[in-house]
A and B are shown apart, each in its own frame.
Chain A
Amino acid sequence: MNIFLHELKAYRKSLIIWSLSLLLIVVLFMSFYPSFAKDSEEFTKIMAGYPEAIRNALGVNLGNFFTILGFYCFPLSFITLCGAIQAMNLGTGIVSKEVREKTADFLLTKPVTRTTVLTSKLLAAFSVLVITTIVYITAASIMAFQVKTDDFSFKLFIMLSLTMFFVQLIFLAFGIIISVVVPKIKSVLTVSLATVFAFYFLGMFTEGAKRYFSPFNYFDTAFIIKNKSYEASFLIAGAIIIILAIAASYFVYAKKDIHSV
């Protein structure tokens, strides 16, 4: 419990900064919706003239594109990217910082098992992500109700927003496994930014079965709007990745050689 509280305290500042930044981004983007909605009818006419293949290639869903939900998907993709960086930073940093800051022997000589240490740290990271998501979704919802021109399904809005949280969980798991496998991480940010952007770009240029390669592709916003549900196979894939990574982390961390000073 002490470790958990200590970690929460250590990440308090970063939590505030991240939550505020995500909040600002979504407020900024959503404030453009009214001007965007104005011309939507004209847009729709032009869009219908596009060749089918192009429309599919762009993933544009004609009927839904100009609603507030369709517009929301646009900022959401950037917000998910930012959220993923936050989660990856958190995952990579929370275990490896003990070695980097030479506090590992202080912590690990305390009468708690390594499993307890890792569990507390994981729970702390998880709580940070949950708080960020709550702050973000609250701000996004208030903003959406402010700028809406038509009624929209709030349930769908929440479902879309939650995809950020799921992607964050996957990247948190990635971060944890990397930080326990690699002996010493000198710079957390280098590792996390490189990983997140690699997957982001990979996600941008893959489709079909290759979608499994990038967590950014697991939640197709057009599919969610259309079918009002997540794609089961990708949910399962995400869950498997998280469980495997976390389980492997416990296994590795329990026996890991940790150099003191």
Chain B
Amino acid sequence: MNIFLHELKSHRKSLLFWSIGVFLMVVSGMAKYAAYSSAGQSMNDLIADLPKSLRAVLGFNALDVSKISGYYGMLFLYLLLMATIHAAMLGATIIAKEERDKTSEFLFVKPVSRTTIITAKLLAAFTNIVVFNVVTFVSLLFFIGKYNSDGEAVNGDIALTMAGMFILQILFMVIGSALASVKRKTKTAPSLAASILLLSYMLSIVIDLNERMEGLKYLTPFKYFEAKNVMLGGGFERVYIIISIVLIIAFSTITYVFYKKRDLNV
């Protein structure tokens, strides 16, 4: 419990900055919605005619950006990117920082098992992620409500996409922590986690750009809960939920197993 509280405290400041960041992101993103909606007319038909690669280059999904739900679908990708960066770095840092700050000796001579320590740390990271997700959700509800002049029912969609974002946040958190416990030099774990994240983001863009790459979509988590599928296709696809859960369990197990046997650098 002490470790849990200590970790919460040491990440308080960074969580605060991240929350402010995502809040500002929602504010500025929604402010730009005015520019889109003022174009006035629905572009659904036009966008539907566009080939997939052009849509990708222009940043459209299959969504109508002059409507608030469609615009949100576009904004969601950036929120997702931000949330997963936070989660991946957090997961890697929270494990790696003891060795980085040379406090591992202090911590690991305490009468608690390594499993307890990892559990406390992961729970603290999990709490941070929950807070980040809730801040995003609440600011979205508030600002979308403010700009939603047509009274579209979007809150259900927002809740659904936020649930998808939450799953990916956990996934990237455990990827980060698994890297930190497997790698001998923990210092490089956060950068490795970040590069894996950017790589999967790039991959998701490439898949949008070229039809032939479609088969690779299982490799990048950014394709699992895309706004357009979740909002237009009615919810999550089961296969992606299963993949995510399997990956999350696998990476958590890796974190525990490898950290238990880890040779700590002092």
A interface residues, Cβ below 8 angstroms from B: 21, 25, 28-29, 32, 35-36, 39, 42-43, 46, 49-51, 53-54, 57-58, 60, 71, 74, 78, 82, 186-187, 189-190, 193-194, 197-198, 201-202, 204-207
**CB–CB A28/B206 < 8 A:** yes
- Across the interface, do B57 and A74 meet the contact criterion of CB distance under 8 Å? yes
Give 1 or 0 for each of B171-213: 1 = CB within 8 Å of chain A CB: 0000000000000000000110011001000100110011000
SS class, residues of chain A in contact with chain B: helix
Residues 8-28 of B, flagged 1 when their CB comes within 8 A of A and 0 if not, give 000000100110010001001
Q: Is the CB of A32 within 8 A of B40?
A: no
Taking CB atoms and an 8 Å cut-off, the chain B residues in 53-78 that contact chain A are 53-54, 57-59, 78
In the assembled complex, which residues on chain A have CB atoms less than 8 Å from the CB atom of B29?
205
Q: Is the CB of B28 within 8 A of A202?
A: yes
Q: Is the CB of A187 within 8 A of B93?
A: yes
Q: Which of B23-52 contact A (CB under 8 A)?
A: 25, 28-29, 31-32, 35-36, 38-41, 43, 46, 49-51
Range of interface residues on chain B? Answer: 35 or more
* Given contacts A57-B35, A190-B190, A46 and B46 within 8 Å (CB-CB): yes
B121 to chain A, nearest CB (A): 16
When C-beta atoms are compared, the residue in chain B nearest to A17 turns out to be: B195
Q: Which 6 A/B pairs are nearest by Cβ-Cβ distance?
A: A205-B28, A53-B39, A54-B39, A205-B32, A189-B190, A74-B57
Contact of A189 among B14, B35, B78, B191 (CB under 8 A): B191
- Find the A residue at minimum CB distance from B198: A82
Q: Does B85 contact A (CB under 8 A)?
A: yes
Given A189-B194, A190-B14, A202-B28, A36-B35 contact (CB < 8 Å): no
Contact A32:B210 (CB < 8 A) given known A50-B46, A53-B39: yes
Given the interface pairs A187-B190, A205-B32, the reply to whether A194 lies near B21 with Cβ below 8 Å is: yes
8 Å CB contact of A197 from B50, B53, B85 = B85
| Interface status of B150 (Cβ within 8 A of chain A) | no
Cα distance, A57 to B59, chains bound together (Å): 12
Question: For the complex, what is the distance from the CA of A60 to the CA of B93, rounded to whole Å?
Answer: 40
CB distance from A3 to the nearest CB of B (A): 22
**Residues on the A chain within 8 Å of B100, using CB:** 186-187
Q: Inside 8 A of B43's CB, which chain A residues have their CB?
A: 50-51, 54
How far, in angstroms, from A39 to B17 measured CA to CA in the complex?
Answer: 45
Which chain B residues lie closer than 8 Å to A46 at the CB level?
46, 49-50
With A50-B43, A60-B58, A187-B93 as given contacts, are A35 and B53 in contact (CB-CB < 8 Å)?
yes
Contact B39 A51 (CB under 8 A): yes
B89 at the binding interface (Cβ < 8 Å): yes
B140 CB, nearest partner CB in chain A, Å: 15
- State which of B53, B54, B78 has its C-beta within 8 Å of the C-beta of A201: B78
Closest Cβ–Cβ distance, residue A168 to chain B (whole Å): 16
B64 CB, min distance to chain A CBs, angstroms: 11
Check if B82 is an interface residue, CB within 8 A of chain A.
yes
Looking at the assembled complex, report how far the CB atom of A140 sits from the nearest CB atom of chain B, in whole angstroms: 16
| 6 CB-based A-B contacts, threshold 8 Å | A43-B51, A57-B36, A71-B57, A187-B190, A193-B85, A193-B89
Q: How far is the CB of A210 from chain B (nearest CB, A)?
A: 9
Residues of A within 8 A of B191 (CB): 189
Residue of A nearest to B193 (CB): A189
**Cross-chain contact B89 with A190 (CB below 8 angstroms):** yes
Q: Is the CB of B35 within 8 A of A58?
A: no
A36 touches B14 (CB 8 A): no
For the A-B complex with A36-B209, A58-B59, A186-B101 known, give 4 more contacts whose Cβ atoms are closer than 8 Å: A39-B54, A43-B50, A71-B57, A197-B81
**A58 CA to B82 CA, complexed, in Å:** 22
The CA of A250 and the CA of B17, in the complex, are separated in Å by 28
8 A Cβ contacts from B196-241 to A: 198, 202, 205-206, 209-210
CA distance A39 to B32 in the complex (A): 31
Shortest distance between the CB of B182 and any CB in chain A (Å): 18
A198 to B78, CA, bound (A): 11
| Contact yes or no, A39 B78, CB < 8 A | no
Find chain A residues with CB under 8 A from B14 CB: 190
Query: Contact between B21 and A57 (Cβ–Cβ < 8 Å)?
Result: no
B198 touches A36 (CB 8 A): no
Residue pair A78, B202 in contact (C-beta under 8 Å): yes
Task: State A193–B14 Cα separation when bound (angstroms).
Answer: 13
CB distance from A220 to the nearest CB of B (A): 16
Contacts of B209 in A (CB 8 A): 29, 32, 36
